[in-house]
Amino acid sequence: LVSWNALLASYAQNGHMEQAKRTFERMPEHNLVSLNSMLVAYAQNGHFGRAKSFFDSVSASYEANTVLWNSMLAALARDGKLAEAKDMFDEIPQWNLVSWNSMLAAFAQHGDMARAKDLFDRMPEKNVVSVNAMLTGYTQNGLLENAKEMFAKLPEVNLVQCNALLASYAQAGSVENAKQVFDELPCKDLVSWNSLLAAYAVKSHLNSAKDLFDRMPQHDMVSSTTMIAAYSMAAQLEEAECLFYSGLPHRDEISWTCILGAYARNGRLTQAERIFTRQPEQNRISCGAMLAAYSLNGHSHQARSTFDYMRALYTPDDISFVSILISCSSGARVYDGRCYFTSMESDYGIRAKKQHYCCMVDLLGRGGYLEHAYELLANMPFAAD
């Protein structure tokens, strides 16, 4: 049984879902380790829907086990379902360090640093993972002072922390800084390579990206998907398609969403729609990509129905509100726009950002409500730019 489990785990780690599934089905017996490996295989390969149904079917017939709960909690957080993750955390019969860390990371990744800090302070035990989760939460939410303070107290810096720094430069579009951190790393792993690749992709440095992609020691799903995204950003659809259809070891939920986004971003609505209805698992990001594509191309009716569809299945986020407001603006639907704008705060607790004010001012201005537009500008909680 132990060797079967080891085999299963190694397929799971390398993203060979079919093999993992076949191994799981062929095993003479299952224990908690096998169940958990299968659950993690689904979650880490982007099959969030399948992970959830697997967990539900398993937890109906097995004793509650902290490792299974922890894996499912992490999967929910990775899929952006913070509220569900929190509910699940509260249901866990017995917590351990990993449960605390998972919940902490979920808060931090969703920008809720207040709750993250609160949890961090109350955790009965902590380790380097807990500290790293806090650190990256700070850097990704622009709380650099807090991050520095915490960094200063570290006895030594490890590769995960360096990679996190590299990634935060990449996300901020500071290619130079990212490159410098990368070059100075004494040893690099795949995450380091992938992060630098992402830095190039974000800034549409297609040649550097391509060059790096060809030079890196290995590729995994992350590398290839990043490269597809780089082609998409640079409007090289044929290259993106080529890599997606014939350069991937397999296709997961994220790579499907990536190619959908490539079509959507480049105005190929029909192809995007086809992927959307055909992809094995839709998710809130593929929905968001469709919504954005409709908005930006002036299909306000489809935008609205996609928004409703999305709202029924997932919790809309700030980005989906930007899209729907844009579509109201181009369809001159001032009243609808105001409804969405107020509903965003009151029904979903999403605080309006600059982008939302920008959309609203645009909407009001175009609709001839200039004085309302000025009033909104004067009362928003930001300096106008």
Partner RNA sequence: CCCCCUUGAGAUG
Judged by CB under 7 A, the chain residues 191 through 220 that form the site for RNA are 191, 194-195, 197-198, 201-202
Closest separation in Å from C-beta 224 to RNA: 7
Site stretch for RNA (CB under 7 A), options 84-92, 110-118, 164-172, 342-350: 164-172
Considering the complex, what minimum distance in angstroms separates the CB of residue 145 from RNA?
19
Stretch touching RNA by CB under 7 A, among 21-29, 52-60, 321-329, 336-344: 321-329
Smallest distance, RNA to C-beta of residue 371, A: 19
Distances (CA, A) of 314 to 212, 285, 331: 36, 10, 25
- For the chain, report the end-to-end CA distance as a whole number of angstroms: 64
Nearest to residue 86, comparing CAs of 64, 110, 56?
110
Q: Which is nearer to RNA, 241 or 253 (CB)?
A: 253
HSE-up (13 A, CA, CB side) for residue 12? 23
Tell which one of 1, 64, 339, 384 touches RNA (CB under 7 A): 1
Find the binding residues for RNA in span 25-64 (CB under 7 A): 31-34, 36-37, 40, 44, 46
Among 27, 84, 95, 98, indicate the residue that binds RNA (CB under 7 A): 98
State the minimum distance, in angstroms, from the CB of residue 210 to RNA.
15
Query: Of the two residues 52 and 265, which places its CB atom closer to RNA in the complex?
Result: 265
In whole angstroms, how close is the CB of 246 to RNA at the nearest point? Answer: 16
Q: CA separation (Å) from 20 to 14, 16, 46, 149, 253?
A: 10, 6, 14, 43, 17
Contacting RNA (CB under 7 A), which of 9, 82, 240, 344? 9
**CB closer to RNA, 31 vs 342:** 31
Using CB under 7 A, count the residues that bind RNA: 90
Q: Please, which of residues 250-309 interact with RNA by CB under 7 A?
A: 252-255, 257-258, 260-261, 264-265, 283-289, 291-292, 295-296
C-alpha distances in angstroms, 335 versus 256, 331, 375?
36, 11, 16
Contacts to RNA from residues 116-155, by CB under 7 A? 127-129, 132-133, 136
Token pair for 194:
């992938």
* Contact flag: residue 23 with RNA (CB under 7 A): no
d(CA 33, CA 263): 40
Each residue 58-97 as x (binds RNA by CB under 7 A) or -, in order, gives --------xx--xx--x---xxx---------------xx
Closer residue to RNA, CB minimum distance, 197 or 338? 197
Query: How many residues does this entry show for the chain?
Result: 385
Q: Which region among 19-27, 145-153, 228-236, 344-352 touches RNA (by CB under 7 A)? A: 228-236
Closest listed residue to residue 384, CA positions, set 360, 367, 350, 366 = 360
Q: Which of 82, 240, 326, 350 binds RNA (CB under 7 A)?
A: 326
